Amino acid sequence: KAGVTQTPRYLIKTRGQQVTLSCSPISGHRSVSWYQQTPGQGLQFLFEYFSETQRNKGNFPGRFSGRQFSNSRSEMNVSTLELGDSALYLCASGRDRVNTGELFFGEGSRLTVL
Amino acid sequence: GQQLNQSPQSMFIQEGEDVSMNCTSSSIFNTWLWYKQDPGEGPVLLIALYKAGELTSNGRLTAQFGITRKDSFLNISASIPSDVGIYFCAGRRSQGNLIFGKGTKLSVKP
């Protein structure tokens, strides 16, 4: 069974640009969550989607947005990039309809903003 | 955002030693989970706990859900080199997202 796939794995952008990250969950999983990981703040929750609906949202500015498609694949977008957005962005899928916290993480997309 | 207090921040292990780490919060959680992250990888779930007082094992790993629901502990017995990595605790309230601790980094003693 294929794991959670995130693309791209690495990318470099400059301030002011925007970026779109993609996540394909494990087959059959309908829940997708996104986390930002930085050395200073650790793992911070961005948002969670289930069946194309945003079920939960973290405390990030509106520049961070996401969506989920009918095939459960998800994308997140960050507009007007700032230096502080440099981070590892992790996507995780869940197999349960109820969010049990049991998540399967991808390897992440490492974003560097110059 | 809110985070859990995880300690120690880092520790060195010698093969064969037992390891303990813990996580505390000022708030109550319904679920406690422990994840491990290796370099270049995403976190991997080790143990999930759903009831106060619950003690659960996964091989050499044992975790406990504190009776006050505000803490959790992870023990690793007879550590081996592949135990090296970063261990994260995570707590979840009902209908809420996971809140992660800042991690305990396990390294091998030189």
Least confident of A33-47, A89-103, B36-50: A89-103
Phi, psi of A17 (to 5 degrees): -75, 175
Q: What is the pLDDT of residues A48-91, one digit of tens each?
A: 999 999 988 999 999 999 999 999 999 999 999 999 999 999 99
Q: What is the pLDDT of residues B65-98, one digit of tens each?
A: 999 999 999 999 999 999 999 999 999 987 778 8
Output the CA torsion sign for A110, B1, B7, B9: positive
Portion of chain B with pLDDT greater than 70, in percent: 96
Please check the confidence at residue B1 and state whether its pLDDT lies above 60. no
Contacts of residue B53, defined as CB under 8 A and 6 or more positions apart, other chains included, come to B64, B65, B66, B67
Picking from A58, A102, A104, the nearest residue to B97 by CB comes out as A58
Note the pLDDT of residue B22: 97
Q: Closest by alpha carbon to A57, among B97, B14, B101? A: B97
Interchain contact, A90 vs B1, CB within 8 Å: no
Note the pLDDT of residue B2: 59
Interchain contact, A42 vs B3, CB within 8 Å: yes
Interchain contact, A92 vs B42, CB within 8 Å: yes
Note the pLDDT of residue B3: 67
A109 token code pair? 């997309």
Q: Which residues of A touch B101 (CB under 8 A)?
A: 42
Cα distances (Å, whole numbers) of residue B24 to A41, A77, B56, B69 = 17, 33, 18, 9
Note the pLDDT of residue A35: 97
Nearest CA in chain A to B30: A100
Interchain contact, A103 vs B102, CB within 8 Å: no
Chain A / chain B CB contacts < 8 angstroms: 58
